[in-house]
Amino acid sequence: MAIVEAQQAPEPIWRTSLVPTDVAAVRALVSATGFFDAQEVQIAVELVEETLARGADSGYAFVFAELAGNPVAYSCYGPIPGTQSSFDLYWIAVAPRQQRLGLGKELLLRTEQLACAAGATLVFVETSGRAQYAPTRAFYERMGYRLEARLGDFYAIGDDKLIYSKHLRQNPR
C-alpha cells in the first residue's frame, strides 16, 4: 500500500517594497475580486503610482504576497494625517483563487504588525453595507475589528459606509 502525502499549498513570498509592475498587479487583483467599480480600481492604482513616485512621503505602505513571482494578495495602509497614532487600512485584496485559504488573515496580521511597528495604536477600515460585502464584514469581525459607525446611503442610496476599528496595543477603553 502506497502512502500518499497531502499536497500542501506553497508558502507565499512576502514583500513590502513596491516595483513598477505592481501598478498592473494591483489593477488586476482589485478588478478580479468583482467588488470594485472602475473608479475604485483606479483609486487603488493611483495609490501605488503615488507611492512609486514619492516613496514614504506618500503616506502609504504596502504588503504583497506572491506565489510563483505573481502578486496574489496585497494591502495598503498608512497613518491618518492629523492623528497621533491612528492608521487606515485603505485596501486589502486577495485573488479569488486564493481566498478562503488563510491568506487574507495572514496578510491582515502582517499589515497590523507593520503598522504597529510604525507607531499605530488604532486601525480603521471602511467597507460597504451592501449584502455582497457580508463576507468582508464577517472577516473583519473575526479578526477583532469592531463596528464603530454606519453612515447611511454614503456610497449610494442603499449603500451604507461601515467603519470598523481595532486597537493594536493596550485597549484604553
Mean pLDDT of 17-29: 97
Q: Which of 105, 100, 155 is nearest to 126 (CA)?
A: 155
Residue of 171 and 75 predicted with greater confidence:
75
Per DSSP, the three-state class of 51 is: helix
Fold type of domain 13-167: Aminopeptidase (3.40.630)
pLDDT value at residue 39 = 95
Burial bucket for residue 143 (CB in 10 Å: 0-12, 13-18, 19+)? middle
Question: Residue 93 has what pLDDT?
Answer: 96
Mean residue pLDDT of the chain comes to 92
| pLDDT average, residue stretch 60-83 | 96
Average pLDDT over residues 39-68: 97
Q: 85: helix, coil or strand?
A: coil
Percentage of the chain exceeding pLDDT 90: 88
What CA–CA distances, in Å, run from 111 to 68, 69, 92, 130? Answer: 21, 20, 10, 25
DSSP, residue by residue, 128-141: E-SGGGHHHHHHHH
Confidence of residue 8 (pLDDT cuts 50, 70, 90): low
Contact 120, 86 (CB under 8 A): yes
7: pLDDT strictly greater than 90: no
Residue extents of the structural domains in the chain: 13-167
| Across 1-28, average pLDDT | 81
DSSP 56: G
What would the mean pLDDT of 79-99 be, rounded to a whole number?
A: 96
Question: At a CB cut-off of 8 Å and minimum separation 6, what does 1 contact?
Answer: none
